[in-house]
Structure 1
């Protein structure tokens, strides 16, 4: 578009009726118009690590025969059997054996049929699958039936392997079955799921080990000498564990941790345990529960207490610091007790130094014990300590990343006795990213427990994480919960903040009408409260939405007024942000020279503020402006300096923006290979989060790649 062009001259045009295929609406077209097929994404490879199997040759052979028998239609196999029999291990191992035959990818979902947290929604699983198969977020419908139809369309001609673990019902599984005759789906469940079998799904029943296989498992864990010396007791132990692999593994871990403990002692203990349980439970559950109970009973009281409390953590993985806060112990003590629980085969330690329950059934066991042995008040206090630690630690991380944000309310829970701190911004963003799932779950937990102030303060404390790293879809869910919590506790100030946060998230996803509604609701609150600076902030955000919609004249008028209002109030940082926004709109109009003037002023104002993130943003915009003006050397210098600054901060969003600018610069100067590499690196940084930024970078890369 020409510099200073009057946008009111642009002809308004509409398209009505049904359009099939690509469509371009434009007033003027310079050069050719080309449509390009999106570049291929790497095929998904989501299978869990391959487990070690003992004596499952017959079941593996049966699975292989089914592959040979079923032709010209999708193969779906239902692997059933009692709890703890090894259905998942068998299915994962077989999936690894045949994965090379499925070049279009291997998908995995834990359907959480018996997790204690409720079964997974097929709608959510389909969303994840469609993402993994390369469908852009903005093209994924919200309705389950529509998602299922799109999934069948996408998989129609693909060789895909799908593993659906721990299914609860046939209705949960049906939408997740791919359509391609070259596909294979493996479903595991404790139930026969007759509804699937009636539709032609093939069944494989996994039975308990025989005696020799059970002894082989014990031999592998304890050594041949120890087993053969106590063969009689080992045989009795096998039968007491009902020859269930999970129960045997738990018992073996307990024995391996005590090399001098006679197997006879465990036999006696299990026998007594099962006498108590036999009248209450079916025999398979007796074996499993008694094996877990035995491991639990030999724990020292402090380890047993931590084991129970760990089931209260809302996320799947946790560190020693979270466990310490939960149990009100030191981190050193927490590490010791977590090690003890890991040695007992109740927990598994992960590569990043965190922990998770060894199996969903183990977590459920711990949860049942907590409900039975710890009063509700005790459990609530533990949850409060955990939420308080998350809130205090997220606030510390936030302060490292955004030190100018002062006087933030983070007092909904008492501060933890032992605080986690960070050396710098990189450490802070690394922690926030690693704990993202737990923090999001903690927001939901706090809201569900009626701790509304905690919920919205936690959601607000995640702002820096989302600003630096994106995750827009997850961000919307967190901020919707934060908004609901703010409204529940009747805090208008908190409600206004959450409305602004949610509006920005919706705008980034292209949901502009919803964003305007949120910003206007926030604007009304700030006017009622007499919060002039925040009122201006909502007006600024409405200007940004106008720019995103292409209403540049409205956006410029509003941002000019906002800049003047901030300047009158003497708030340098926010004046600078409004200037950056204004410069961005001018760049979209092709007015690079005007944009540089505003950006240089913003840079001058930000020198007085500890805000390295927005100083780097100024550099990115200046890089674009200089490139548009033909000042390629200056543009390269600005963009590389901004990339270095964003890298030091650990901001993937910022790095992606700088890389996109460098790609544009390389393209302008005829360095096509460099441009493609920059766009690819930018796309990798921003991730498939459905944002406008992701869609824009992907479109540039897709269009550019077809000319190479």
Structure 2
């Protein structure tokens, strides 16, 4: 199966994420952990991947071919893209069993990448980190420098996602050094872009902007349009966090246009979210509503219920901000119904609380 690298997609917000690991990482401990895990995989409180992978197999399963594993992995990728990470994990673990039996290390690395993304989306960070480190170990064993670069970048973004910018920066610097040593343009662009995220999270917006601008040069040279759009949206996020609404709107606008032309719905929706926030901040509510309508249409075309829920929630919050409580209530209720359909109890509770608080303010 042809190998593709997957990258953890971390969409920054103006506020630093508040997630914390149970035990805080320090620089040296995180670096030692990165090496020690190559010989002793992480022991997590959650179910270890080894236990999931090596459960007893029946003979009929053991005879399944590489084609079956590839098909399972494709199903897993579609499940993840459609917003069903739990199902994606199940399919990936089945594919991983077959790849383990036939000894396909590169396919195992790709599968660990996808597993990590699904685990992390579900907040199962220890299992996600375990999967990423297993991929890194495979990449080192096979002298696959490009995979090492991508694995280190994913570990770095995981550190960043749980609120650990210092070990994130050190891990990403290591990835950048490898990329430069082997003259991997794609890896340089990715590492620089992620280092921009680190600087943005630390509040150093000027440094972040410079890193993103440099990253864009490499990403354009590599010809990876999706990667270029991701960095362009990151740049828009940084302008937004810095309160520079003029450059925010220009950057997101460019990203939205490029994404629309190239049918990159994910980056198009992301750019729209940034534009809605920026236009609302400067009082351009009519434009914000126009963009929200486009967002909802895109989510419906994709048949992506989680994104439809986010659209309803954004509508509700904007109408609430304008004091139009009846319409805001209607959208909150529609979002609640979707959260029930998705069996997202946490989101349902948050939406009900937000609706209750709004109605209390309305009475006053």
- Tell me which interval the TM-score lies in, with the shorter structure as reference length: 0.5 to 0.7
Aligned to 2:183: 530
Secondary structure at the counterpart of residue 22 of structure 2: coil
**Maintained 8 Å contact 2:75/2:88:** no
Aligned to 2:291: 638
Secondary structure at the counterpart of residue 607 of structure 1: helix
CA change 1:540–1:656 in 2 (3 A) is: farther
Query: CA separation in 2, counterparts of 1:476 and 1:678?
Result: 37
Q: Alignment partner for residue 566 of structure 1, among 209, 219, 225? A: 219
Secondary structure at the counterpart of residue 163 of structure 2: coil
Aligned to 1:677: 332
Q: State whether structure 2 residue 45 is matched by structure 1 residue 390.
A: no
Report how many residues are paired.
311
**Maintained 8 Å contact 1:479/1:502:** yes
Residue 597 of structure 1 deviates from its aligned partner by: 0.8
Q: Residues 327-350 of structure 1: CA distance to partner in whole angstroms, max 9, x if unpaired?
A: xxxxxxxxxxxxxxxxxxxxxxxx
Query: CA separation in 1, counterparts of 2:67 and 2:52?
Result: 14
Query: CA separation in 1, counterparts of 2:345 and 2:133?
Result: 21
Aligned to 1:238: none
Residue 491 of structure 1 deviates from its aligned partner by: 1.9
Query: CA separation in 2, counterparts of 1:437 and 1:427?
Result: 11
Residue 502 of structure 1 deviates from its aligned partner by: 2.7
Aligned to 2:22: 141
Query: CA separation in 2, counterparts of 1:510 and 1:518?
Result: 14
Note the residue ranges of structure 1 that are not aligned, 5 or more in a row. 1-135, 144-312, 317-362, 371-378, 402-425
Q: Alignment partner for residue 248 of structure 2, among 592, 595, 599? A: 595
**Maintained 8 Å contact 1:662/1:678:** no
Residue 656 of structure 1 deviates from its aligned partner by: 6.0
Secondary structure at the counterpart of residue 64 of structure 2: helix
- After TM superposition, the score normalised by the length of structure 2 is 0.67
Q: State whether structure 2 residue 145 is matched by structure 1 residue 492.
A: yes
Query: CA separation in 2, counterparts of 1:631 and 1:678?
Result: 25
* Aligned residue runs from structure 1 range 14-33, under 5 A: none
Q: State whether structure 2 residue 166 is matched by structure 1 residue 513.
A: yes
Residue 585 of structure 1 deviates from its aligned partner by: 1.2
* Aligned residue runs from structure 1 range 596-615, under 5 A: 596-615=249-268
Query: CA separation in 2, counterparts of 1:626 and 1:516?
Result: 32
Higher helix share: 2
CA change 1:523–1:139 in 2 (3 A) is: closer
Residue 572 of structure 1 deviates from its aligned partner by: 4.0
Query: CA separation in 2, counterparts of 1:463 and 1:588?
Result: 28
* Aligned residue runs from structure 1 range 308-347, under 5 A: 314=52
Q: Residues 28-77 of structure 1: CA distance to partner in whole angstroms, max 9, x if unpaired?
A: xxxxxxxxxxxxxxxxxxxxxxxxxxxxxxxxxxxxxxxxxxxxxxxxxx
CA change 1:672–1:588 in 2 (3 A) is: farther
Query: CA separation in 2, counterparts of 1:580 and 1:481?
Result: 30
CA change 1:511–1:666 in 2 (3 A) is: farther
Secondary structure at the counterpart of residue 157 of structure 2: helix
Higher relative contact order (CA 8 A, sep 6+): 2
Query: CA separation in 1, counterparts of 2:197 and 2:165?
Result: 10
Higher strand share: 1
Aligned to 1:627: 280
Q: Residues 381-413 of structure 1: CA distance to partner in whole angstroms, max 9, x if unpaired?
A: 954736752333323664xx6xxxxxxxxxxxx
Residue 495 of structure 1 deviates from its aligned partner by: 1.8
Residue 662 of structure 1 deviates from its aligned partner by: 3.2
Residue 447 of structure 1 deviates from its aligned partner by: 6.4
Q: Residues 637-693 of structure 1: CA distance to partner in whole angstroms, max 9, x if unpaired?
A: 21232234235435566456545543442332124572793897598879699xxxx
CA change 1:507–1:634 in 2 (3 A) is: same
Query: CA separation in 2, counterparts of 1:494 and 1:393?
Result: 22
**Maintained 8 Å contact 1:653/1:686:** no
Residue 558 of structure 1 deviates from its aligned partner by: 1.5
Residue 583 of structure 1 deviates from its aligned partner by: 1.0
Residue 456 of structure 1 deviates from its aligned partner by: 0.6
Secondary structure at the counterpart of residue 506 of structure 1: helix
Query: CA separation in 1, counterparts of 2:154 and 2:80?
Result: 24
